Amino acid sequence: MGSEEISTSLCEDIPNLLSSFVDTFVDFSVSGGLFLPPPPPPPPLPTRLPSPPRLVAIGDLHGDLEKSKEALRLAGLIDVADRYTGGSATVVQIGDVLDRGGDELKILYFLEKLKREAARRGGRIITMNGNHEIMNVEGDFRFATLPGVEEFRVWWEWFEIGNKMKTLCHGLENPKDPMEGIPSSFRGVREEFHDGFRARVAALRPNGPIAKRFLSQNVTVLVVGDSIFVHGGLLPQHTSYGLEKINEEVRDWVNGSTGRFSPDYCRGADGLVWVRKFSRGDEKECDCSALEHVLSTVPGVKRMVMGHTIQTVGINGVCDDKAIRIDVGLSKGCGDGLPEVLEISGSSGLRILTGNPLYQNKGNVDVGKEQGLGEHGGPRQVEVKA
């Protein structure tokens, strides 16, 4: 290839190089200084995965980046410099990154960074939809905080700058305006927050830049080995409908293919991101026979792992550890609980890794079959709306 051909090829590539540079510039500005590693080829949306040597499950994060990092460090998944150190572990974050805190975008970016680092080290981080992800994509911001609205306003400022920079290059099409069709004011919202609300709608509505980029990677139900993960709970109508079908339809909705509202099975008290049938109260209040029926409809599954309902006693299990509840109310905006994560491994079974100082001198709390996950004085849930 001659020098003239190289020059022509380089000139043809300049628009794409500029676009990539602008996207990196916006990411760095919004995320608080993260440079994301180059993305690996996107894996297919998982629904069923084999049992890994080490499986870690993390509950609701609700916009609290520092407490999220505490939980990740507790599990040995990141070091003091926030780099991934989990090796070949499979990590499941069970949803509800959004609402109740002011670091929602920063957590989304941070988890994306860890996903890319983990993939290069033989590990895998899987994020799930909680009811708050579904609510926000539908435009229900009842539980967004003022810092959370401001975070999206700042995102929009940088995103708009990036779009304007792209229009300066004649080789690029003018980017679509994400604000198209969004009202300039909102009834019941103070005027100074209108810009933040508009930005939040633009970012998170179906096919919005943040929804498409981050939330479309989420699964809604997941089987890993002999455990099934869901934010709220599964009922017989969900398993009979089809787990793969649920994941595909929710992803298509987030990507803007099917209108404003989520599928019916994500909505209402029996929606699989809303169900509290197995996470509220102690074992006497849990319908263990119904749980066993649901588990029997998914071959090879022994337990259901869920978030959604805060467990003030920490991670616990009922129904002979067939229902494992891992939402410890970690976020400062939603309980400020002590960090805890669940570890599942073939060699040691179920184990709670806890930040509770009562147990720190004894090492991790080992919860084998004889003791059970429920042996913490009985679960006492905090009822939290939505």
Give the CA dihedral 70, 308, 353, 49, nearest 10 degrees. Answer: -100
Burial class (CB in 10 A: 0-12, 13-18, 19+), 283: middle
And the tokens for 206?
A: 């179906």
Q: How many CB atoms lie within 10 A of CB 377?
A: 8
Residues labelled catalytic:
132
Residue keyed to tokens 């869901």:
230
Single out the residue of 57, 180, 179 nearest to residue 125, CA to CA: 57
The radius of gyration of the chain from alpha carbons, rounded to an integer in Å, stands at: 22
DSSP 8-state secondary structure symbol assigned to residue 228? E
Residues 226 and 141: their CA atoms lie apart, in Å, by: 35
Burial class (CB in 10 A: 0-12, 13-18, 19+), 176: exposed
Q: CA dist 74 to 53, 57, 334, 364, Å?
A: 18, 12, 20, 10
Backbone torsion region of residue 123, taken as left when φ is above 0, otherwise alpha when ψ lies between -120 and 50, otherwise beta: beta
